[in-house]
Amino acid sequence: MRHLLSINDLNRAEVERLFHRASDLKASLKRGQSANPLAGRSLALVFEKPSLRTRVTFQVAMTQLGGQALYLSAQEIQLGVRESVPDVARNLGRWVDAIAARTYAHATVEELAAWAGVPVINALSDREHPCQALTDLFTLWERGLELRSLKFAWIGDGNNNVCHSLLLLGALLGMPMKIASPPGYGPDPGIQSLVRSASGRFELTEDPKEAARGADVLYTDVWITMGQEAERAKRLATFKRYQLNEQLVRFARDGALVMHCLPAHRGEEITDSVLDGPQSIVFDQAENRLHVQKAILLSLLEE
């Protein structure tokens, strides 16, 4: 049984197929063409965390493919409290064709996959966010950009699930990354080891200007994510000079693209003028979550 728990569950050929399929699905939707390859199929959305893009895009994806999605909130299931994760997984596996799980701990996604008997998709965990990373690089790929030659800069918290998945996907596709983070906030050492073992190329720096200099792409994410609210004051002070603002964008090449996985804390990790500016492709990323996740669902369920 195949799952998508990590970028490491994919090889380069599979990623390329996903990109081409997402492109075809996007074009078909724009032309008003529809099909129902997943008619009669069901996807359970097991969400410990609230969501806008992940929930809506998975639900709409299943609807557009002819199936249905069932949203199960943290209050309804209470994973590991009202019922154990293995018991929830074994129940859902009897009723639905796949599970997309948005959890705090990556171990929860792995446990669901171990017991469900149906494909499980990591829709976000503390370790990785593979659907987002696939969408991000698809958004660059569809613009005709050569990923191997891009100068891709991550600015801010490197110990971040999106950053981790981008590092792993960059290693798979040959895209180098430069990551600027404060001391102690670099990518997880285990992720770094996996990237190195896959011959991935990345550089770590504490200087956001150094990372941004000559970059083709500037990417940032929130400094305070769900579960880190108690660290708010400390993090705001620590990350202050890592804000993606007009001054920092000037260090990148002319026309460099600005990316953010959203939601954004405007005025913290990114300014309004940059997020809403002409170089931002943030809402292209958000739109493409739908098309990439349709390709993922088809890849898993058609097998």
Query: Is 75 labeled as catalytic in the residue annotation?
Result: no
**Catalytic site residue from 3, 102, 106, 260:** 102
Q: Taking a C-beta distance cutoff of 8 angstroms, is the pair 92, 70 a contact?
A: no
CA–CA gap between residue 137 and residue 134 (Å, rounded): 6
Placement of tokens 């800069």 in the chain: 153
Say what angle helices 12-30 and 282-301 make with each other, to 10 degrees.
Answer: 110
Query: Is 284 labeled as catalytic in the residue annotation?
Result: no
Query: Is 289 labeled as catalytic in the residue annotation?
Result: yes
Cβ atoms within 10 Å of 59's Cβ, excluding its own: 18
Query: Is 148 labeled as catalytic in the residue annotation?
Result: no
Residue 165, amino acid: S
Residue 191, amino acid: I
**Catalytic site residue from 3, 129, 235, 291:** 129
Tell me, what DSSP letter sits at residue 205?
E
How far from the centroid of its chain's Cα atoms is residue 104's Cα? 14
- List CB contacts of 152: < 8 A, sequence separation 6 or more: 166, 170, 175, 176, 177, 178, 215, 216, 217, 219
Residue 189, amino acid: P
**Catalytic site residue from 132, 192, 243, 293:** 132
CA–CA gap between residue 297 and residue 280 (Å, rounded): 28
**Catalytic site residue from 260, 289, 291, 293:** 289
- List CB contacts of 199: < 8 A, sequence separation 6 or more: 171
**Catalytic site residue from 97, 261, 285, 293:** 261
Query: Is 102 labeled as catalytic in the residue annotation?
Result: yes
Query: Is 221 labeled as catalytic in the residue annotation?
Result: yes
Q: Taking a C-beta distance cutoff of 8 angstroms, is the pair 152, 178 a contact?
A: yes
| Active site amino acids | 102, 129, 132, 221, 261, 289
